């Protein structure tokens, strides 16, 4: 079952996403860079404090027409500005570098988690998460970038607040007023106005923009689904063209894009309301401190320089208090990203901790290739496929697995491979360091790269000569590929299904595994070619244990043992027949 789309993430989960890098083997480098960034941030705030004082002196010089002070302050402003620019440039430079280092570390970690324990396989079967590629490629980038920019922005706002609130309290002075014949005096009144102004603005922005987290979450999901639909057309261009399914594909893509469009308009309407509130808030903040402080100026209580210093200090305090308002959109996107990554991490962790009742042990007899004891396998939804199978394959056996579709033949091979955890019983095989195993599925996987790499996959091609590779290509009737060993291509698109299956058999002849599993690996071949590749396997790999799933009886002569899946229910009861578990009958094939 897929996880709820809008998953509530607790702060403990957020911390578990952020913490690992900062306690990892790269923690010294990470903390060094972060401390340098914080130091530059604090230095930038200090320069702002100096500029605030500069405002008072400079504008007093203007009011008093003091040219010498005016000229000295211009020089002072020049070197303060240069220092501020240098600080800002290197703060951004170091932040971007730290972001990439953090992203690289997290990408490697999450790729490892996704690829280990076959998590990529199980999450796809169980449909527990959507678009894992987007979560690794985009959400990790958004997490590292957003966490650094938001946290450093918050730090800068807090330091600015504490630096300027004392200045604002001191220079703004007190204001007094009469109410019911009582005189009230408010010391540092500009501070209270700043708190009131920022507080009201923050509450308003939160109230308007709170649905933005869910909308941002949906937007990323809809974009990823649309992109995946486009990729599927590219990967399945041949069957779609043969079906003339262009209109159906277009309708599906249009529907997916309509989700993007509809959600985007919702984001636009919400963003418009946010922009109305935040723009009014920001624009009025430019004149608000002048309006509040002007009575004291016109009463000759302060000079122009002090008025400008008050306005500048008020702007710094109000800006620091308004961090939430300015960062709200980024916070919403960051929170949506965190929700997706937390769900991704939880799904992978659940697979790592999933208690499989299948026991994988080591064979005692060196001649045994496979032994199962009371093996029962089920679908992940719980329906039992077969039960209490006691199977035995010895080195060099050629075993044919037959039975109706859906009875569990391919699932048996996946359980032997260790990627199917649903069931119970025992599977014994020789130790991994004493055997080599190769699975050839019906749809052969060919990595993008050179034909040499595709032919030797998953091993490295370095240990094989051109002559050796060309011989197996010739044996598998792939003469036309002799000169293409170093050609880079997407071979899944370059080769027909039959060519791909012949190439997978050539791969088996190159690797020479101790155990070879074939899962309908000749379904795209004609009977003559099918018999040819089976003959090659038996002739060139006589000591290899062969376990193959096939529907054609023509391959039976190349095997000496049959494992036949038989339904327990009466075949006339079709509904029961296809849902009842199978038993496996073992027989000898005498030729």
Cα–Cα distance measured from residue 316 to residue 480, given in angstroms and rounded to the nearest whole number: 73
Check residue 577 and give its pLDDT.
Answer: 45
Give the span between the Cα atoms of 41 and 28, in whole angstroms: 20
Quote the CA–CA distance of 120 and 275 in Å, as a whole number: 41
C-alpha angle 285/291/297, rounded to 5°? 135
CA distance 19 to 12: 10
d(CA 534, CA 514): 16
Cβ burial 421-434 (10 Å sphere, 16+ → b, else e): bbbebebbbbeeee
- Give the whole-angstrom CA distance, residue 95 versus residue 145: 9
Which phi and psi angles does 302 have, rounded to 5°? -140, 160
Q: Using one digit for the tens of pLDDT, what is the confidence trace for 327-380?
A: 777 887 888 788 888 888 888 887 777 666 677 788 776 667 788 888 888 877
Are the C-beta atoms of 556 and 589 separated by less than 8 Å?
yes
CB 385 within 8 Å of CB 378: yes
Contact, 316 vs 47, CB < 8 A? Answer: no
Q: What is d(CA 66, CA 97) in angstroms, rounded to the nearest whole number? A: 46
- 573-to-385, 577, 585 alpha-carbon distances in Å: 17, 6, 21
What residues contact 531, with CB distance under 8 A and at least 6 apart? 554, 555, 558
The answer to whether 507 and 446 have CB atoms below 8 angstroms apart is no
SS (H, E, C) 357-410: EEEEEECCCCCEEEEEEEEEEECCCCCEEEEEECCEEECCCEEEEECCCCCCHH
Phi, psi of 512 (to 5 degrees): 55, 65
Beta-carbon contacts of 51 under 8 Å, excluding residues fewer than 6 positions away, are 77, 80, 84, 312
d(C-alpha 340, C-alpha 142), whole Å: 11
Label each residue of 304-328 as H, E or C: HHHHHHHHHHHHHHHHHHCHHHHCH
Q: How many residues does the chain have?
A: 591
For residues 354 and 348, give the distance between their C-alpha atoms in angstroms, rounded to a whole number.
Answer: 10
CB of 546 closer than 8 Å to CB of 468: no
* Cα distance between residue 479 and residue 260, in whole Å: 48
HSE-up (13 A, CA, CB side) for residue 425: 23
Q: What is the reported pLDDT for 2?
A: 45
| pLDDT value, residue 175 | 66
Task: Kindly give the parts of the chain with pLDDT less than 70.
Answer: 1-9, 127, 173-179, 181, 183-185, 238-239, 242-243, 354-357, 365-367, 567-582, 588-591
| DSSP per-residue codes, 70-106 | HHHHHHHHHHHHHHHHHHHHHHHHHHHHHHHHHHHHH
Q: Residue 521 in contact with residue 410, Cβ under 8 Å?
A: no
305 contacts 295 by C-beta, under 8 angstroms: no
> What are 371's strand-pairing partners?
392, 428
Distance CA 391, CA 124 (A): 29
């Amino acid at each position: 079952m897929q996880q709820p789309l809008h998953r509530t993430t607790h702060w403990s989960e957020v911390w578990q996403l952020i913490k690992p890098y900062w306690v990892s083997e790269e923690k010294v480098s990470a903390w060094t860079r972060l401390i340098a960034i914080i130091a530059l941030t604090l230095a930038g705030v200090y320069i702002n404090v100096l500029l605030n004082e500069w405002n008072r002196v400079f504008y007093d010089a203007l009011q008093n027409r003091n040219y010498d002070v005016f000229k000295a302050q211009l020089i002072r402003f020049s070197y303060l500005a240069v220092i501020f620019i240098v600080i800002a440039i290197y703060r951004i430079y170091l932040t971007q570098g730290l972001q990439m280092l953090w992203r690289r570390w997290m990408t490697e970690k999450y790729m490892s988690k996704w690829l280990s324990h076959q998590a990529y396989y199980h999450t796809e079967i169980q449909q527990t998460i959507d678009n894992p590629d987007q979560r690794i490629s985009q959400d990790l980038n958004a997490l590292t970038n957003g966490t650094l920019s938001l946290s450093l922005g918050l730090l800068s706002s807090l330091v600015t607040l504490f630096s300027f609130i004392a200045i604002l309290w001191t220079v703004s002075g007190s204001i007094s007023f009469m109410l019911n014949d009582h005189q009230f005096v408010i010391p540092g009144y500009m501070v209270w106005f700043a708190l009131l102004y920022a507080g009201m603005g923050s509450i308003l922005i939160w109230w308007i923009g709170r649905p933005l987290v869910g909308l941002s979450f949906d937007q990323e999901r809809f974009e990823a689904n649309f992109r995946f639909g486009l990729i599927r057309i590219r990967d399945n261009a041949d069957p779609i063209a043969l079906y003339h399914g262009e209109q159906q594909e277009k309708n599906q893509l249009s529907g997916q894009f309509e989700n993007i469009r509809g959600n985007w308009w919702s984001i636009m309407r919400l963003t418009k309301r946010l922009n109305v509130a935040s723009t009014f808030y920001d624009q009025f903040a430019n004149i608000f401190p002048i309006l509040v402080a002007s009575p004291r100026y016109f009463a000759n209580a302060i000079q122009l320089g002090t008025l400008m210093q008050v306005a500048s200090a008020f702007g710094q305090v109000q800006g620091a208090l308004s961090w939430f308002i300015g960062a709200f959109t980024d916070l919403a996107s960051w929170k949506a990203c965190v929700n997706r990554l937390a769900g991704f991490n939880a799904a992978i962790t659940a697979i790592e901790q999933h208690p499989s009742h299948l026991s994988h042990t080591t064979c005692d007899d060196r001649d045994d290739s496979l032994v199962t004891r009371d093996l029962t396998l089920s679908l992940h939804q719980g329906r039992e496929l077969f039960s209490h199978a006691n199977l035995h394959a010895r080195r060099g056996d050629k075993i044919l697995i037959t039975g109706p579709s859906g009875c569990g033949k391919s699932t048996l091979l996946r359980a032997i491979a260790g990627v199917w955890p649903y069931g119970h019983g025992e599977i014994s095989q020789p130790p991994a360091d004493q055997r080599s195993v190769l699975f050839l599925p019906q749809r052969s996987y060919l990595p993008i790269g050179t034909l040499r790499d595709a032919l030797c996959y998953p091993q490295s091609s370095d240990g094989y000569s051109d002559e050796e590779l060309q011989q197996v290509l010739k044996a598998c009737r792939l003469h036309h590929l002799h000169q293409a060993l170093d050609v880079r291509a997407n071979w899944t698109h370059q080769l027909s299904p039959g060519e791909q299956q012949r190439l997978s058999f050539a791969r088996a002849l190159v690797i020479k595994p101790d155990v070879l599993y074939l899962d309908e690996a000749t379904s795209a071949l004609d009977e003559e070619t099918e018999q040819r590749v089976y003959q090659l396997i038996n002739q060139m790999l006589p000591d290899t244990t062969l376990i193959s799933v096939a529907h054609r009886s023509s391959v039976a002569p190349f095997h000496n043992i049959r494992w036949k899946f038989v339904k327990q229910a009466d075949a006339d009861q079709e509904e029961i027949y296809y849902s009842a578990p199978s038993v496996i009958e073992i027989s000898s094939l005498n030729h």
